Amino acid sequence: MPNGVPNGVREITYREAVREAMVEAMREDAEVFLMGEDVGVYGGAFGVSRGMVEEFGEGRVVDTPLAEAGFVGLGIGAALMGMRPIVEIQFSDFITHAMDQLVNQAAKLRYMFGGKARVPLVVRTPGGAGTGAAAQHSQSLEAWFIHVPGLKVVMPSTPYDAKGMLLAALDDPNPVIFYEHKLLYNRKGDVPEKAYRVPLGEARVSREGEDITLVGAGLVHRFALEAAEALSDEGVEAEVLDLRTLSPMDHEAVLRSVEKTGKLVVVEEDVKTAGWGAEVVSRVVESESFYALDRAPARVAGADTPIPYNKNLEAFIRPTPEKVVEAAHKLLDSRAGVYA
């Protein structure tokens, strides 16, 4: 175990972890294939599938036309016939072209056929802002799909979870929307060489604390961790919860943490109005854990505006670790007036 790292564990990027999961799944199961715009020779818009077409050929790493409605529909049909397609939507904004296929078909077919039809479809898509890609290539639309029974929505924040949760998603008989934040692709973390699974629907406490609960997922989970470190320098120990799966959401994990700390800040990148953070807060308020709260919960979210192209404006409307710290201060201002 050199440098404290277990044998068979390496430090790789989030991008490499996603690719590794796809490669392992395709090597193990001939029914798994990847398709999407530029996933083949080009290797994907963010380089995630680079080198895969050379190993598996154009029959299993399929470059599609610019027609999300068409190739998502094809993926649903392939899944119904027993295959396990991975469909890449080049930018998550373009998922809007396939709303009927995902919402009215993939999400409902198993229910409508009494469980006799299954749709083991994984839709991978990079989401989020911070790259200067402007209003049509920077959105966080995951809350739309949380609202649809029959769809699972996953948003891993670490390379370890990216690999383990993608393999778990490929095992699942239901359609899974798998969000990968663009700014996470180059982040590194320890990932085992061997295949493993991270169960869908289970949150993880990534930092223990007693004073306040910070809840996030995807990139903003890292913002919560950075905010927790800043708060620790002030003598405040925040507990950080990484939801990892947005649907089904691990509400019990949130309730356990809130009952311990009495204070809650939810961090999300999507726009605040009707964002998934509202569901986190609502479930706490509707439960017996409401009585554990010292103050009303706070939400740190994106502004209700299209994403600006200007980098300063883009940064202004997005969540940041500093905004998380500010929200925590407002909840903690009862601590002898320290933050008043």
To the nearest 10 degrees (0 to 180), the angle between helices 219-232 and 321-331 is 50
Task: Select from 122, 166, 97, 153 the least CA-distant residue to 33.
Answer: 122
Task: State the pairing for strand pair 204-207/188-192.
Answer: unpaired
Dist. CA 169–CA 38, nearest whole Å: 22
For residue 124, give both structure tokens: 């991978």
Nearest residue to 244 via CA among 298, 299, 148, 163: 163
Collapse the DSSP code of 230 into the 3-class scheme (helix H, G, I; strand E, B; otherwise coil) and give the result: helix
* Residue (of 322, 224, 241, 325) closest to 284 by Cα position: 241
Known catalytic residues?
137
Q: What is the largest CA-CA distance in the chain?
A: 66
Enumerate residues 6+ apart whose C-beta is below 8 A from 51: 19, 43
CA–CA gap between residue 168 and residue 134 (Å, rounded): 32
**Degrees (nearest 5) of the Cα angle 175, 180, 182?**
150
Structure tokens at 89: 């939507």
Rounded to whole angstroms, the Cα distance separating 271 from 339 reads 27
